[in-house]
Amino acid sequence: MLTRAFGVPAVLAEALSPLTGIAAAYIYGSWAARHEGQAGQRPVGDIDVLILGDPDRDELYAALSGVEERLGRPVQTAIRDPSWLASGTGSFHDIVTSRPLLKLVRAPD
């Protein structure tokens, strides 16, 4: 229960730390918003993770499938170029950057 409530960023960072090709990773969306104290109209159903870089997708999805079991909820992943936060465009970029982002601190490659 404590892992589900308080350990989400740590669990995700731990799962991502052995992977190469990730410049940065963030939790975004409703989970990040609730974590930062923003109220919402419905319960958080999943955890949205933004990956900046070019990781091996098979390794990434394998690592995150274990996290889904630990946290008891799905993890949805969006992968973008490392410069996407600073120079991206479009509605998805606007939505992601207008809400809280929780940076996942990973061990160095």
- Domains of the chain in start order, with CATH, are 2-103 (3.30.460)
Handedness of CA 101, 104, 105, 108 (dihedral sign): negative
SS3 102: strand
Q: What is the CA radius of gyration of the chain?
A: 13
17-58 per-position pLDDT tens digit: 999 999 999 999 999 999 888 888 777 789 999 999 999 999
87-106 as b/e: b if 16+ CB within 10 A: eeeeeeeeebeeebbbebeb
Is this structure's pTM higher than 0.95? Answer: no
25-45 as b/e: b if 16+ CB within 10 A: bbbbbbbbbeeeeeeeeeebe
